[in-house]
Amino acid sequence: MSKFKVKDARKLRVSTPFNFDDSDPRATPGFDGNAKALKKQAKRFDEELSDLQELLFANARALGKDAPSILVVLQGMDTSGKGGAVKSVFSVFDPQGTTTLSFGKPTDEELEHDFLWRIRKHDPLPGQVVAFDRSHYEDVVTQRVHSWVDEAEIDRRFEAIREYEKELADANVRILKIFLHISKEFQTENLLERVENPKKHWKYDDGDVTERGFWHEYSQAYADAINRTDADHAPWYVLPSDSKPYARMALKFLILDELRKMELDWPEADFDPEVERQRILDSE
């Protein structure tokens, strides 16, 4: 049995031009073990992840606005496991250094502004690991699938997204864009579970069945979005997600890889440790 490594997660970076036909949602590339082994491997670096996230947060306390941060953008078809992935991966972190945001249907106030207005308000603060469960891509893909805006507006929005993500990268925000790729058959299973299991009823949205009728159109729209916005400073990763544990492990390792690459050090003390130690002892 092979061990899934951080470098295996890196290989899930898309190669453009990307097509979903080239990605099998049932596959588990880099891993050939059973579910029990998969869950065990996924926890291998939890302690290191926790330490590195604390280190990132500590650097923000010391460096202020110059400290780096991480933005994880999660997209996928309905029931692809975006919320579960955030819950699973972010449970390793100290809550004070993380934020999770979900962008649903725009409110009346949000519709009065440009589509990025509601997103920009939540730009990652220094030292934070932030997850967008759905994101600014919803305001391009969904609008395009339903022809609610014309292609000229779609082009404008893609350009705005590219500029926005470059601004974030220039502000020391490390961006990971993740597409959780599931099969239509797997979505069927997920929807049926939400109907049949009373504990899942709260998750069921009959609109998901309506949107399911546009599966092909969404696949095309997402592939185009990936191809038009993939960049070294804002890369796209497509994670096969019919195995939710596999997708969550891959996401966890991608965040770990990003934290490792920062090569952060613990901030130096702005006090004399020996003097303060003696003060503490003298205060008894």
- The answer, yes or no, to whether residue 127 has pLDDT greater than 60, is yes
In a domain, residue 1? The reply is no
Query: What CA–CA distance (Å, rounded) separates 146 from 217?
Result: 9
Q: How confident is the model at residue 11 (pLDDT cuts 50, 70, 90)?
A: very high
Q: Give pLDDT, residue 68.
A: 96
What tens digit of pLDDT does each residue of 267-277 get? Answer: 998 899 999 99
63 against 279, higher pLDDT: 279
Is residue 256 within 8 Å of residue 6, measured between CB atoms?
A: yes
Position 147 pLDDT exceeds 80? yes
In a domain, 268, yes or no: yes
Number of domains, the chain: 1
Question: Is residue 176 domain-resident?
Answer: yes
Confidence class for position 62, pLDDT limits 50, 70, 90:
confident
- Residue 238's closest CA among 176, 185, 157? 176
Does residue 89 fall inside a structural domain?
yes
* One-letter amino acid of 227: N
Which pLDDT score is estimated for 2?
A: 67
Length reported for the chain: 284
- For residue 113, what are the domain limits? 6-282
**168 occurs within a structural domain:** yes
Identify the sign of the CA torsion 252, 258, 264, 267: negative
CA distance 53 to 69: 10
Residue 277 domain-assigned (yes or no): yes
The 10s digit of each residue's pLDDT in 165-193 is 999 999 999 999 999 999 999 999 999 99
What does the pLDDT average to over 12-30? 94
Q: What is the mean pLDDT of the chain?
A: 94
The CA distance from 4 to 247, in Å, is 12
Q: Which residues contact 230 (CB under 8 A, 6 or more apart)?
A: 14, 16, 18, 177, 236
Q: 239 has which bridge partners?
A: 180
The interaxial angle of helices 215-229 and 151-170, nearest 10 deg, is 50
Q: Is residue 259 part of a domain?
A: yes
Q: What is the CATH number of the domain that holds 20?
A: 3.40.50.300
pLDDT of residue 3: 82
In a domain, 28, yes or no: yes
Distance CA 14, CA 261 (A): 20
Asked whether 89 and 9 are in contact (CB, 8 A), the reply is no
